[in-house]
Amino acid sequence: MLTRKSTLTTAMLIFSVLLSFSQNHTQAIRGQVLDNTTQSSLPGANVVVLDTEPLIGTTTDSQGYFTLSGVPAGRVSLRVSFIGYHTKSIENIYLSAAKEKTLEIYLEEQAISMEAVEIRAEKSKKQPINEMASASARAFTVEEAERFAGSRNDVARMAANYAGVAAPNDAENGIVIRGNSPNGLLWRLEGIEIPNPNHFGAMGASGGPVSMLNSNVLSKSDFMTGAFPAEYGNAYSGVFDLHMRHGNYMNHEFTGQMGFNGFEFGAEGPVNRDKNASYIVNYRYSMLSIMSELGFDFGTGTAIPYYQDANFNLHYPTEKAGNFTIFGVGGINHINFVNSESEGDGDGFYGNESFDVYNENGMLSVGLKHDFHFSRNTTLESVLNYSMANQINTIDSVSRTGDIFEDFIRNNLENTTQTLKTTLTHKLNRKNTLKMGANLKSVGYNLQNDIWQSDEQSYFEALNNDGSTMQFQAFGHWKWKPHQNLTFNTGLHYIGLSLTGKESLEPRAGIQWKVHPQHTFSVAYGKHSKTLPVQFYMQRTELDDGSSVRTNDKLGLSKADHYVFGYDWSIMPKLRLKAEAYYQKLYDVPVESSPSVYSALNIRSMTFTMPDSLVNEGTGTNYGMEFTLEQFMKKGGYFLLTASVFDSKYTASDGVKRSTPFDNDYVINFLAGKEWKISAKDAPRMMWLAVDAKITAAGGKRYTPIDIQESIEEEDSVYDLDKAYAMRYPDYFRADIRAAFRIESSKVSQEWAVDIQNVTGHTNPFYQTFNLSENKVETVNQLGFMPVMQYRIYF
């Protein structure tokens, strides 16, 4: 048996061997240059590496592909130009000595014939990939999710740093956008709506503690916070429009990673080099479950998260039949909170001493996408998708002495969808573009929810449904650019649900006006709506004679009108200031038919109740101001300062106007980072050190106080609903810091990182619960001081 000392010696020896490979610090950059609107290839485009001597450059082939060889590893910048298109600079790309870089570069056609105008990538990063978004949208890169302190390689946690966004708690990644419920968010992957892509989230929710989406597979994507274009539907707060990257179509490469999120292995490479066809796949298994099996105690009692997930993308372009892509993401998980066998007040954030909870979830989304280019100006995109989400819960009541157990809730929910979507994009000319599409979705469901009734000593079937319904969406969008500095976007979206017979027709409009090369104004309006998770419509109400009826099956869609005004100032080439003011009016919101404080606007990201007898009579308002000051990476350093002040109110069926649980008043984020190359130019290997820090301050979380006397009598937590969300915890504060050390040779790249979250150990309340043993209210706090370690290797 190896001793700890001999194991360490062996590891160091292996490490030294890995670092002794070739000292060649150059690498290749491959990719494709495409039209930003139609995604058509641009043959003959020029691609050069800036600041190289002699200049490294090439021209794209007949399919728009290029290869740049012998590029010095480290931070590099490219310039891409094509006749009739704006020249684009892409700066501060990190090129590893051990891994080739594969890029897709999109150029924007000039609205009028003029001299070349250069667009720098850092300035355009504020602009989304979807050029038809006029306001409240920006692109983000995977590097941000991997680098921002506290993000844990999760795009949702990364987005919580942007203006207008707040993370409701440290335990999960559901995000609050402009005071809206996290469930107003739309997750899209390759143009298709997908189920909640997070582990341990309730079916129909939008968040969870751990993302199933792997940053090693994702590409540059869009994040939108309001008044989004006509092609987006079934959402009223925001959109994650995600894309997967293509694998290396010339060489096989591998990735290994272990850290807080789990053990991971990834591979990518060519399927057919002559066709530039490629694959990329990544698999992960939870770290804590493996360590628990080895006997490690994490202080979480019986609650050990078990999960695994996989992401893949297979891309196969053809010369005449178009491009084919098969993509997918999926995961399974389970976690048990067996409080009858634990000590204290339950297992962590989600534990409750009154119950044993057994939870199991699964999600899968796979699709086939086909792009066909009739010409450079006309593209037809079609996607066929299958998605599935399931949730199995059993909740056992636990007596004070822990010797009486009773199944309180038995929950078995499953949804399946089959979606066919087609989108046609056509450039009429340089100034006018039309985009239109339709989306037909078949929604299958198998729902079972039994609730124990103590008085009758029997179970009530709140859900017992097996069937299907149809959802149809269609849109049309017109982009008019009469001048290089003026853009109009107008469109119309339609959504209808056959289950309820309800529908909505939604106009969208936006204007962008660049009054000066450094100053841009934008105005946008959008009407948006969203259906509820299918289990809401199937909820049953028990009648006096013991029978039951469905009382939610005629519910309409929640609706919202968005108004946004924005200003963008490019202060310097790498420094910009952005400000947006917004107003959102929400109406037709589901509330209870009898007077109560319930509103669908207050649905949490992971868990929610499903009341019966709902009607579309609730309202709400959100308004506020947002500011962003951003320094894009310059000489290895960057910073991002965002500030949001807002008000979020709702009115339920009792007619009282109240704060929503997301009405925190303000959120301030400050991020900064710096990287240094610490090896000499002619050193046998490259070494980098990076430090990133983040500070978040926000208004205190709102909550409903517990009625102590009623709780004692009922032997359970009873809330004073007359004071719903009237109370506030102290203001939230959290500071994170991340340090990473990277070392590279031509064959192997390794990175060690530690992300210390809540580095000051500040106490932030999460929620209150009633302690039945001591008859008192107790506060469960959020994340304390927590170091998160990570190791990554590319070879």
Encode pLDDT of 81-125 as tens digits: 999 999 999 888 999 999 999 999 999 999 876 544 444 444 455
Two structure tokens written together for 603: 């649905």
Q: DSSP state, 244?
A: B
What pLDDT shows up at residue 116?
Answer: 46
Two structure tokens written together for 489: 């976007």
The rounded Cα 27 to chain-centroid distance in angstroms is 31
Q: What pLDDT digit, counting tens, does each position of 426-485 carry?
A: 999 999 999 999 999 999 999 998 887 777 777 888 888 899 999 999 999 999 999 989
The arithmetic mean of pLDDT across residues 350-366, rounded, is: 81
pLDDT class of 617 with cuts at 50, 70, 90: very high
What pLDDT shows up at residue 545?
Answer: 76
Rounded CA gap, 216 and 160, in Å? 20
Among 304-313, 320-329, 335-344, 776-785, the least confident range: 335-344
Report whether pLDDT(1) > 80. no
* Closest to 424 (Cα-Cα) out of 381, 394, 457: 381
Can you name the residues that pair with 326 across neighbouring β-strands? 314, 368
What pLDDT shows up at residue 13?
Answer: 40
The arithmetic mean of pLDDT across residues 765-773, rounded, is: 86
What pLDDT shows up at residue 181?
Answer: 94
Two structure tokens written together for 276: 């530039």
Rounded CA gap, 462 and 409, in Å? 10
pTM of the model: 0.91
What pLDDT shows up at residue 458?
Answer: 77
Contact at 8 Å (CB) between 573 and 601? no
Rounded CA gap, 100 and 749, in Å? 11
Q: What pLDDT digit, counting tens, does each position of 275-290 carry?
A: 999 999 999 999 877 7
Contact at 8 Å (CB) between 273 and 249? yes
Contact at 8 Å (CB) between 425 and 475? no
What pLDDT shows up at residue 406?
Answer: 63
Report whether pLDDT(399) > 70. no
What pLDDT shows up at residue 152?
Answer: 86
Q: Is the dihedral of CA 88, 91, 94, 98 positive or negative?
A: positive
What pLDDT shows up at residue 400?
Answer: 46
pLDDT class of 40 with cuts at 50, 70, 90: very high
What pLDDT shows up at residue 394?
Answer: 85
Report whether pLDDT(402) > 80. no
- DSSP secondary structure string for all residues of 362-394: EEEEEEEEEEEEEETTEEEEEEEEEEEEEEEEE
Residue with tokens 């580095």: 759
Residue-wise over 316-341: b if at least 16 C-beta within 10 A, else e?
bbeeeebbbbebbbbbbbbbbbbbbe
3-class secondary-structure state, position 542: strand
Q: What pLDDT digit, counting tens, does each position of 230-263 carry?
A: 999 999 999 999 999 999 999 999 999 998 888 9
Q: Alpha helices, DSSP H only, in 664-707?
A: none
Contacts of 634 (CB under 8 A, 6+ apart): 574
What pLDDT shows up at residue 285?
Answer: 95
**CA dihedral in degrees (679, 683, 685, 688; nearest 10)?**
10
